[in-house]
Amino acid sequence: MDRRSFLRGAAGSSLLLPFAARLGRAEAQPPKRLVFLFVPNGKHMQTWTPAQEGRDVELAGTLAPLQGLRERVLVLSGLAIDGGRAHGDGPGDHARAGGSFLTCTHPKKTAGSDLQVGVSVDQVAAEQLGGQTRLPSLELGIERGRQAGSCDSGYACAYSSNISWRGPATPNAKETDPAAAFTRVFGDSVNPERAKQRLAARRSVLDLARAEAKELRRALGGGDRAKLDEYLESIRELEFKLSRPPVQVDAKPPQGKLDRPERLRAMLELTALALASDQTRVVTLMLANAGSNARYGFLDVPEGHHNLSHHKGDAHKHAQIRKIDRYHVGELAWFLQRLGELEQPDGSSLLEHTAVIYGSGLGDGNRHNHDHLPILLAGGPVAGRHGHLRFERETPLANLYVSALRWAGCRAHRFGDSTGALALG
Amino acid sequence: MARALIPFLQEHCARCHSGEDPEGGVAFPRLAEAADVDAHRELWLSVLERARQGDMPPEEEPQPSAEARAAFVAGLRQALRVRAGDPGRVTIRRLNRAEYNASVQDLLGVGSSPADVFPRDESGHGFDTVGDALSLSPLLLEKYLTAAETLVEEALFDPKPFLQRVPGDQLEGGGEARRRLRVFASTGRAGFRPRLRVAGRYRVLVEAWADQAGPDPARIDVIVDGRRVASLDTAGEGRKDAREYSTEVMLTKGAHQVLVGFPNDYYRPNDPDPGQRDRNLIVVSLSLAGPVEPPRFSPLMQRVRELANQHRDDPVAATRLALAPIMTRAFRRPLREGELERYAALADAAREEGAGFYDALKRALTGVLISPHFLFRPELDPDPTSDEVRALDDFELAARLSYFLWCSLPDDGALRRAAEETLGDDVAGEARRLLDDPRADRFVAAFAGQWLGLRRLEDVDPDPQTYPSFDEELRVAMRAESELVLTALLRENRSVLELLEGRFTYVNGRLAEHYGIPGVEGERFRRVALPPERRGVLTHASVLTITSNPSRTSPVQRGKWILEQLLDDPPPPPPPGAGDLPEGEASGVSRLEAHQAPDCRACHSKLDPLGIALEGFDGVGALRTRDGRDAIQATGTLPDGTRLEGAGGLSAALVGDPERFVRAFAKQLMIFALGRGPQPADEQALDALVVRTAPDYRFRDLIVELVQLPAFTHRRGPGGQ
């Protein structure tokens, strides 16, 4: 086994048996999970969109890696995020594409003084589903945030490097190191006696921290209080997590320095394991930050992704973009396959109980359009209605989120700019 | 919005900036909404800025008279309640990653940088000191907690030396346990897993004897963490010659594996000499002891230890005596009533649960390190609902100064002067003192890391086919060069204009090779004259690399960088769908001809010439004469006809308007120092900085003037929002 690429233990898909047995007693029906995968810079839409509509489409072109999973995949064409558009704010489509992707609201244009966007759909779900698991939600990414300058036309970088927003001004920072993410989900291996002592110490320390923060908050005004609220909320979430011991999995965090494809694989595997062992039910993963200009050297693409996305119809650039698109879809296929292998206590596969939403906040990177987005739904909700659906133009992507939330058992009257739930055929 | 401003807006702005498809995507709100300036404050502030600088209306449109423009600017200022000398509102600041690392290092004397694994801080207005943008997530809090736990172990380890001796029969692994011994009749290894609380040099002791046979003596291998650290020949024969064999090894804190091995078995049962038939190793015990040299403590931790040891018989008092100086330093102010008790109670509780003195103290210190009083820098107002302006107290000033210039907590000297209430009397003197300290290097790293964008070097990924010479050594050297130049300007109090026209730099062997400077070898950086084709930071490989694409230069990005970072004149972003330059046959400069289109020309006539002047340097900052098939033409022409011939011409043009650069530079310094975005009231302050440091504009002078501004020494209350 490659020591770096896989978190998977020697026992393969049976590694979760002890947990499965426990869950089997507690809950007859496996819980529902939601996964949101973001890719930047749009897609080459000509090779993304299936030619036909309906059940029996062939997944070709960019989507070819999914052909074997076609009964679990539904391609949704014609969806839009109106909040991503300028609305008088001028350029900055990449920042807005990132900021609006899961919030379906219009991010406020600011260099950082007053971030404002909606609460994201994963956090709406986490609020309702998260009380059951150690981590209400898990935020992962492949690229760290940018460290200097602005990211896009006067927008603070927060919009480009986060898709999960717990509050209108509070992004949920993402973990980009697979080994650290693994430790966060599954704990570090300390002996039970030491773990017990540590828990007691942590509780007392966090109790004091909370009391101190509450008192300090009272002495502060306005915006400063909001910062202490973030602190207090984080304490609450951490205390809840600590109150539940992590499940033991027969898997190890990846070792050593990982290259980009290894990192993505490790994150996808971690996502699968975290869901399978019910450490969380909501995961967001940014395959790259919004507007990313990463160079996919391992695909023989020497130019940056963002540069390429401004293809101006150039066939050579199209070909390079297709390589990146296809790579990302290939990884999605691998991930779905993996969810399909992991067994739930009732014998069904994890994929049947997971909704995976994959897509970009831009359609064509050259046009910077926020409609006709490349969006794909996979897993549980697709059962019996796979294929390709074309929606009336301007149908809000938020409608899909409402459908997904309801499928997962969340109360969702409306979300963002939704006008209802999406009719999924 | 004052009614008087509306006619101006209607006459000069509304035609383009309204309706469904406004120019540049920027539309003014309807007049009814416009009355509420605060609802669109950012928009109006940018309108103010554009009107003040004369960027709008664009030159091809009818221009307002100078008086009308001035009246509009004044009126808008008033509507936006821009008050001269207003220090502005600064949102409570959380320590950013650089500040966290420096603060724990200075507080605890540790060498580690735990914040390196924290999620990267969001920045506002280009800097991660802006409190508004510094949010806190559960992920980060969890990292704060684990960092605190690790730090206290590193800072407050039990000074008792470590000794673990394991009898032979209790070792785990090969060989055979016989009575109290471990007998290796054939090759094998056995050992134990010690857990160390402190890193250092440790001694491994093997007490053993051998049955000798064959040509070689029985050998003892010492294997630590899978690596053989020693191979020792035994001497003597049998139990009577039992003795200690030892070696030393450097070990980190944490878990390790120590093994003793017998690698050279020898067995000839038929040898006529019974003494030559069988070679065995018999281990009596295996021990690990250390650290061999006692570890060194920071002065603060040394004092904590002395206090604790003096009062060892009274752990309750000792805890408080030890904790008080740490907390005062960590919270950067005198402790408030009952505060010490609350943290000390953590230690009391731990001792009641059976923890030793130091372990209990660690728990209290963990509490200090995740306390909001440490992680945030509150500046408490007497009335949190008021928006009054007040002078900062001396402790608040000390913290602002030390976080500006050291990225860290104030030292004992500053806290003492604050307690004596003398620090505020000589802010300039205190700033000079901090600048004289080596810790001011942190200011250079943090400020240049963001202003010049040096931190982005960590993430750039030049295409190895296009730039085969780029490697990790060069990446590191590029950053070091720019930091060293800024450090020199600061330490020698040289003019900040040297950033534009500097004629010396620092190179090591790797960078000298990149620049084609002969005679410099090795890793050490030394000061050298810049080759004639290079002038100032603009021609540093660092800046040239971060403003390039992975496989080619971008004159547009370089031009934009100059306007934004050096001249505070950010160009408006390109219109939607403008896209990138066409790729392919044409070289960089001829591709730019596409910018002659009417939509592009207005901005690009300003942008492109600046970048073109730097075309003599490739995407990793190496000198070049050709781009693909074309010879480089590094001459740009500005809209006013000024010709910029290469980097030298660009440098001369930039220096030709010194005030413009100094003002822009001072503005960046101000954002970094204050931790808030610029506001219109800062304009007068910036004017003052330019005037007061003219005509030499020395770096240190600029900083010393800045910290005396009301914006730095005062604060406005947050008001009841």
* pLDDT > 80? residue B159: no
Identify from A234, A241, A282 which residue to disrupt to test chain B contact, counting B C-beta atoms within 10 A and taking the largest count.
A234
**Residue in B270, B258, B260 with CA at minimum distance from that of residue B206:** B260
pLDDT > 90: what percent of chain A? Answer: 76
pLDDT digits (tens, 9 = 90+) for B387-417: 899 999 999 999 999 999 999 999 999 999 9
* Amino acid making up residue A140: L
* pLDDT > 60? residue A10: no
Using the Cβ of A312 and the Cβ atoms of chain B, whether some distance falls under 8 Å is answered with yes
pLDDT category of residue A12 using cuts at 50, 70 and 90:
very low
Give the chain A residue nearest B142 (alpha carbons): A238
Rg, chain A, Cα only: 21
User: What's residue A26's pLDDT?
Assistant: 46
Q: Tell me how crowded residue A39 is: count the other CB atoms within 10 A of its CB.
A: 26
User: What's residue B43's pLDDT?
Assistant: 76
List A residues 168-187 in contact with B (Cβ-Cβ < 8 A): 169-177, 180, 184
The torsion angles phi and psi of A161, rounded to 5 degrees, stand at -105, 5
pLDDT digits (tens, 9 = 90+) for B484-527: 999 999 999 999 999 999 999 999 999 999 999 999 999 999 99
**Least confident among A364-373, A401-410, B99-108, B285-294:** B285-294
- Interface pTM, i.e. ipTM: 0.91
pLDDT digits (tens, 9 = 90+) for A292-336: 999 999 999 999 999 999 898 899 999 999 999 999 999 999 999
Mean pLDDT value across chain B: 90
Cα distance between residue B592 and residue B644, in whole Å:
16
Strands (DSSP E) contained in A89-234 are: 138-141, 165-167, 170-171
User: What's residue A275's pLDDT?
Assistant: 96
Residue A200 to residue B461, Cβ atoms within 8 A: no
* pLDDT > 70? residue B573: no
Using the Cβ of A246 and the Cβ atoms of chain B, whether some distance falls under 8 Å is answered with no
3 state DSSP class of B303: helix
Burial B174-207 (b: 16+ CB within 10 A, else e): bbeeeeebbbbbeebbbbbebebebbbebbbbbb
User: What's residue A255's pLDDT?
Assistant: 78
* pLDDT > 60? residue B587: no
User: What's residue B31's pLDDT?
Assistant: 61
Find the CB nearest B139 among A111, A150, A175.
A175
pLDDT digits (tens, 9 = 90+) for B532-572: 999 999 999 999 999 999 999 999 999 999 999 999 888 77
Residue B677 to residue A184, Cβ atoms within 8 A: no
The DSSP-derived string for B678-709 is --TTHHHHHHHHHHHHTTT-BHHHHHHHHTTS
pLDDT category of residue A1 using cuts at 50, 70 and 90:
very low
Give me the mean pLDDT over the A343-363 stretch: 95
User: What's residue B574's pLDDT?
Assistant: 66
How many contacts (CB atoms, under 8 Å) link A and B?
Answer: 280
For B115-167, what is the HEC assignment? Answer: HHHCCCCCCECCECCCHHHCCCCHHHHHHHHHHHHHHHHHHCCCCCCEEEEEE
Chain B residues closer than 8 Å to A234 by CB? 136-138, 140-142
Give me the mean pLDDT over the A185-210 stretch: 89
**Residue in B175, B179, B234 with CA at minimum distance from that of residue B207:** B234
User: What's residue B44's pLDDT?
Assistant: 80
List A residues 100-119 in contact with B (Cβ-Cβ < 8 A): 108-115
The torsion angles phi and psi of B349, rounded to 5 degrees, stand at -65, -40
List B residues 650-679 in contact with A (Cβ-Cβ < 8 A): 676-677
Find the CB nearest B580 among A149, A213, A310.
A310
Give me the mean pLDDT over the A146-171 stretch: 88
Residue A154 to residue B570, Cβ atoms within 8 A: yes
The torsion angles phi and psi of A257, rounded to 5 degrees, stand at -80, 125
Cα distance between residue B506 and residue B714, in whole Å:
39
Using the Cβ of A92 and the Cβ atoms of chain B, whether some distance falls under 8 Å is answered with yes
Higher pLDDT, B401 or B62: B401
Residue A184 to residue B142, Cβ atoms within 8 A: yes
d(CA A66, nearest CA chain B) in Å: 31
User: What's residue B676's pLDDT?
Assistant: 95
User: What's residue A18's pLDDT?
Assistant: 42
**Least confident among B120-134, B297-311, B644-658:** B297-311
pLDDT > 90: what percent of chain B? Answer: 68
pLDDT digits (tens, 9 = 90+) for B191-209: 999 988 777 889 999 999 9
User: What's residue B17's pLDDT?
Assistant: 83
Strands (DSSP E) contained in B602-657 are: 626-627, 630-631, 635-637, 643-645
pLDDT digits (tens, 9 = 90+) for A231-255: 999 999 999 999 888 888 888 888 7
Question: What count of Cα atoms within 13 Å lies in the side-chain half-sphere of residue A78?
Answer: 11
Give me the mean pLDDT over the A388-403 stretch: 96
Q: Is there a contact between B502 and B656 (Cβ–Cβ < 8 Å)?
A: no
Residue B337 burial (C-beta neighbours within 10 Å; 0-12, 13-18, 19+): exposed
Residue A147 to residue B456, Cβ atoms within 8 A: yes
User: What's residue A6's pLDDT?
Assistant: 44
Find the CB nearest A148 among B342, B375, B449.
B449
Give me the mean pLDDT over the A10-20 stretch: 39
pLDDT digits (tens, 9 = 90+) for B691-704: 999 999 999 999 99
User: What's residue B576's pLDDT?
Assistant: 55
Domains of chain A: 34-182+260-407 (3.40.720)
Using the Cβ of A213 and the Cβ atoms of chain B, whether some distance falls under 8 Å is answered with yes
d(CA A37, nearest CA chain B) in Å: 19
pLDDT category of residue A27 using cuts at 50, 70 and 90:
low
